[in-house]
Amino acid sequence: MSEENSFTKDLDKLIELFKRFKEKTMSESIPGFDKQFFQSFDLIVQNYDMIKGHISESYLNQISGPLKQMIKDMINKLQDELGEEINTKTEVSNTIKEIDELLNKPGLSNKEIDELLDKRTSLKTENPKLPPEN
């Protein structure tokens, strides 16, 4: 997966988590989140939905660097708030197992092996709370 697609995927996930956070917050009537907050939030989501298909690749390359880690941190925080940490850990663990299985298959090119190892390392680095491997 290219870096641009990864950034866009993370941004989409962040917006989806914000939407679910809003629903949870509204249903539980948590103090501190007033009508103005939700209106501002809805405006941000609507604007993102309108422009997400029109963002140029060069602009995405320029902004993705500084924002990438912040978005990942926000995703992790919202997943914790929404109780999704266990599911995420399971998904990441399963992805790492799939990568390991692919790495054990014969006939992979050096480039394919490097890409799989890079992805595996990235997942382990981004998810330090994963249980130890057997």
* Domains contained in the chain, number: 2
Residue 123, domain member (yes or no): yes
pLDDT of residue 1: 47
Residue 1: count of CB within 10 angstroms of its CB: 9
Q: Residue 134 domain-assigned?
A: no
Q: Tell whether 51 is covered by a domain.
A: yes
Q: Is position 132 within any domain?
A: no
Specify whether the backbone of 106 is left (phi greater than 0), alpha (psi in -120 to 50) or beta. Answer: beta
* Burial class (CB within 10 angstroms; exposed 0-12, middle 13-18, buried 19+) of 40: exposed
Digits of tens for pLDDT over the chain (134 positions)? Answer: 455 567 778 888 888 888 887 777 776 666 666 677 778 878 888 888 888 777 777 777 777 777 777 888 888 787 777 776 545 666 777 788 888 988 998 888 999 899 889 988 888 887 766 666 65
Confidence (pTM): 0.51
Residue-range definition of the domain harbouring residue 52: 1-83
Q: Answer yes or no: do 5 and 65 share one domain.
A: yes
Does residue 107 form part of some domain? yes
Same domain, 25 and 88: no
Q: Is residue 133 part of a domain?
A: no
